[in-house]
Structure 1
């Protein structure tokens, strides 16, 4: 049935208009349900660090941090979509000033924070409190209470990722404010990190299994050391050196619907081209290079963001003299669980 040429196309268009008043439809020649391969309206977009910094100054001076879901964020909007950065998730950049509190709430969407710059803030997730610093990854699994407070002296910036587009498409949005601005931390405020933070060992008595990682904070020191060790292995043909943040109990992705990866492209690297179902967004932690998406070259450098549409042929290059490191977020875990993931060399 894929991409069938409808010989009765004109008659179908007429019928669609006639049947609409009865809430009926017939298959449309203009909007086929089945296509030979994915045909996403999402487009590749490159957001430059200089533009991001300028607009963060704008929202920092003009917008207030308010209770509820109204955070001060710069949302990376994809012009090919009605909302969101990709078909399943939204990437935003949060800007929080010294002394501010992002008040506690919870929502059905899963979320994560990757710290771009600054220090002096902490985040609390279901009573677990962590100091967050540049390069750290902090998880906010769905329906967990979370809040943030900035106790430092300079503005702090981090990436917010939520699978809100996926949740909205399932008509499963829930949101709730906490009874106060902040939660009371647990007696052992960093219990999950003490249990699983080594990345290598764990207590014999395991906690009740959950759908997400019991480790809520992944430090920059831990991830960078793991990446350095992996650089001694044979390169991945499509990504050079790449690691996934994992659930230490199951070995699966840290969140069930959002994939998180850290990638290194060594000097002189030019990866092979491939494509896969699922969308991705890259943040350039350091270095410079280029990604070629469906024949179009995107030059990137430290602080830039790049959106990759589903099933787009892509390859990466390091064009600098030192290593380039990218933080990647994707929706591959969700597609794998649904049986929709497919990968193909180009």
Structure 2
């Protein structure tokens, strides 16, 4: 409220009143209304960029300092510069770089938080979800849905690193977090690799299967090779969208909804030299470059990104992407499903 025209005596009376009501756990709405109900989003998170070439050495060094068993999950958190100490990359999302060394197992556990894995570096590791393993290949988008048992292991001869994306801040906001460790270090294999993808991800489901809204997707791996083939076929048969290029969202094949109720995930292809028109939306989004290189203009900041780089676009910040000399492919994730479920999500194509 504009109190510039109040007399010193009137302002003093108000301050005394605010102090008295504060003793009863009360505060005046009119003093904070503009901040509570702003004209447009005012994100606390800032645009930020992590160059994988710069941080890879620090990730690998963690493998020399602490074991996967000791750490439970050997991860370096990507903290937004404006949210240091809060384990957030946006107000709603978490991101981290996880490392598993040859011969190690990240022990089995489960938790309320939904998680995604995006493989960046190395080969020979696996993720197991509720008794089924999938070999982790670069670019694969792997899900460990909320309250599903999962563990990771490395049967290969080289370190493997991937990006973790979780809804930890959202679950923390609702104070609804639970976690449980398994009795065994890793799960016994109950089904052959590829069983879930064949059963639920081939435009078919078992004849008596009925997906309930609260149930997690049964498809927990989206192979990068399939994603690339789809993006390439679309780009050859249609004109790229001026604001998005060729952009697809990942779904739960049984429902058409997001694979996770709290996190949306997307794959995007920009033709060589393509420049998107400015665009903004209310879901803070984490981007990863999987192929190619380019520039991201996020608000007033410009990031030159390369393969495996991560950058974040806060809510309602204008984004403009420019591909380099070859086709560029990006993966991204955001809190869009939550915002859409609550009727909050908006976009603006400038």
TM-score, length of structure 2 as denominator length: 0.91
- Partners in 1 of 2:162 and 2:287 — Cα distance? 14
Other-structure match for 1:245: 250
Q: Is the 8 A contact 1:240 1:266 kept in 2?
A: yes
Helix, strand or coil at the partner of 1:123:
strand
Provide closer, same or farther for how the CA distance between residues 87 and 111 of structure 1 changes in structure 2, counting only shifts above 3 A.
same
Other-structure match for 1:36: 39
Other-structure match for 2:318: 313
Any runs of at least 4 consecutive aligned residues in structure 1 with deviations exceeding 6 A, and if so which?
Answer: none
Other-structure match for 1:303: 308
Helix, strand or coil at the partner of 1:80:
helix
Q: Is 118-127 or 308-317 further displaced after alignment?
A: 118-127
Deviation sequence 1:78-113 (CA, Å, 0-9, x none): 021252001111010101100111001111110011
Q: Is the 8 A contact 1:6 1:29 kept in 2?
A: no
Deviation sequence 1:296-315 (CA, Å, 0-9, x none): 22211112111100011111
Provide closer, same or farther for how the CA distance between residues 23 and 134 of structure 1 changes in structure 2, counting only shifts above 3 A.
same
Pairwise CA distance, 1:14: 5.2
- Partners in 1 of 2:181 and 2:125 — Cα distance? 21
Provide closer, same or farther for how the CA distance between residues 210 and 118 of structure 1 changes in structure 2, counting only shifts above 3 A.
farther
Among residues 73, 80, 83, which one is paired with 1:81 in the alignment?
A: 83
Helix, strand or coil at the partner of 1:32:
helix
Deviation sequence 1:31-83 (CA, Å, 0-9, x none): 7211111111100001112222121122222222236x741111110021252
Matched, 1:124 2:123: no
- Partners in 2 of 1:51 and 1:213 — Cα distance? 35
TM-score, length of structure 1 as denominator length: 0.92
- What RMSD in Å do the two structures reach over aligned CA positions? 2.1
Segments of 5+ residues of structure 1 without an aligned counterpart are: none
- Partners in 1 of 2:192 and 2:263 — Cα distance? 28
Matched, 1:273 2:278: yes
Pairwise CA distance, 1:272: 0.8
Pairwise CA distance, 1:222: 1.2
- Partners in 2 of 1:213 and 1:56 — Cα distance? 31
Other-structure match for 1:227: 231
Matched, 1:258 2:263: yes
Q: Is 135-144 or 181-190 further displaced after alignment?
A: 181-190
Other-structure match for 2:157: 153
Pairwise CA distance, 1:205: 3.4
The structure with the larger Rg is: 2
Structure 2 counterparts to residues 21-60 of structure 1, below 5 A: 21-27=23-29, 29=31, 32-60=35-63
